[in-house]
Amino acid sequence: MAQTSGLPDHPPLLPSALPRAGAHDHEVISVSSTLDHDAPPAPTSRWTADLDVVVPVWNEEARVGPTLAALLAQVAELPLSVVVTVVDNGSVDRTAEVVDAAAEVAPRNARLRLIGCSRQGKGAAVRRGLLASTARWRGFCDADLSTPPSLIFPVVEQLQQGDPVVIGSRRAPGASYVVAQPLVRRLGSLAFRALTSPLTGGVVDSQCGFKFFSAEAVEAIFPRVTGSGFAFDVEVLAIANRLGYPVREVPVQWTDDASGSSFSIWTHGPRILSEVRALRSSLGRTA
């Protein structure tokens, strides 16, 4: 069952014991051409995190630096220990070098690590990052930061209150679009919600790239996830619904400019419909 919340911008957060760290006590697990991208990542040594934020990337050398800077600036204000896990999906540019540099300026309460994923697709990268974590709460955000990283505050508030699945939503009360979406995209979104709502238990926005979970929910949901394409988010929420996990939707101020997106309802629409139909069939067989 989906639930929605209208929350303050910066709610009070419960403190957590923070480990001691020096100014340059950081950790990066570098990705290189010789790394086994399917091997388990090395443990984060002395570091036990309350929260792990997974960022899937593919050839993001131009964007990942500002993205990590913005994200680390927000998590620095959390009274929690945090790991930001960048999952490289086979980049051939300087993404790994940029992540290495960002780790040098990670705040006292955070660590930055970089692991690989040989299977293509955002879903595969997210699944690998979440299942490689040992944090109490785990989630992911898109590298383009269409969802402002400040959303981490109301999301953590809900996680601390016991919600097992908390997601950003462009349709929850209080949400808004900074840049208006084209009519054809709005109509496509309406059709998509009508198609997927029965699977997700009434979630009004399954596609916002900002989703967080309790460790228990991650370990129950993600081993069952098989897709890595457009229907990945729907599959995650459908499995959560099937397992009885309620989903809390938190309003976002969406900043994505659709005019600069490579997504096309005409090009990608048939593929999305095909993936959702296949998902419905698969879930029906396992009912």
Segment holding 96, helix H or strand E: helix 95-103
| Among 96, 106, 103, 98, residue whose Cα is nearest residue 72 | 106
Q: How far, in whole angstroms, is CA 159 from its chain's centroid?
A: 14
In this prediction, residue 33 carries a pLDDT of 35
> For residue 87, what are the CA distances in angstroms to 8, 50, 143?
31, 19, 11
> For residue 95, what are the CA distances in angstroms to 100, 105, 116, 151, 185?
9, 17, 12, 25, 31
Q: In a 3-state reduction of DSSP, which class is residue 51?
A: strand
Query: CATH homologous superfamily of domain 2-285?
Result: Spore Coat Polysaccharide Biosynthesis Protein SpsA; Chain A (3.90.550.10)
In this prediction, residue 175 carries a pLDDT of 93
Question: Which pLDDT tens digits describe the chain residue by residue (287 residues)?
Answer: 778 776 545 545 665 544 433 333 444 444 433 344 555 555 444 567 999 999 999 999 999 999 999 999 999 999 999 999 999 999 999 999 999 999 999 999 999 999 999 999 999 999 999 999 999 999 999 999 889 999 999 999 999 999 999 999 999 999 998 877 778 878 888 888 898 999 999 999 999 999 999 999 999 999 999 998 889 999 999 999 999 999 999 999 988 655 445 556 667 678 888 888 889 888 876 65
Cα–Cα distance, 175 to 170 (Å, whole number): 5
* Beta partners for residue 115, in sequence order: 87
- Helix 183-200 with 232-243: angle, nearest 10 deg: 30
Cα–Cα distance, 225 to 233 (Å, whole number): 10
Structure tokens at 169: 């939503």
- Helix 232-243 with 265-285: angle, nearest 10 deg: 30
Structure tokens at 214: 């309790």
| Among 78, 134, 145, 68, residue whose Cα is nearest residue 106 | 68
Q: Which amino acid is at 196?
A: T
Domain boundaries, the chain: 2-285
Pairing of strands 210-214, 165-169: antiparallel
In this prediction, residue 22 carries a pLDDT of 35
Residue carrying the six token digits 């540019």: 93
Q: In a 3-state reduction of DSSP, which class is residue 50?
A: coil
The whole-model pTM stands at 0.85
In this prediction, residue 96 carries a pLDDT of 96
Q: In a 3-state reduction of DSSP, which class is residue 227?
A: coil
- Helix 122-131 with 232-243: angle, nearest 10 deg: 50
| Among 139, 203, 171, residue whose Cα is nearest residue 3 | 203
C-beta of residue 178 within 8 angstroms of C-beta of residue 254: yes
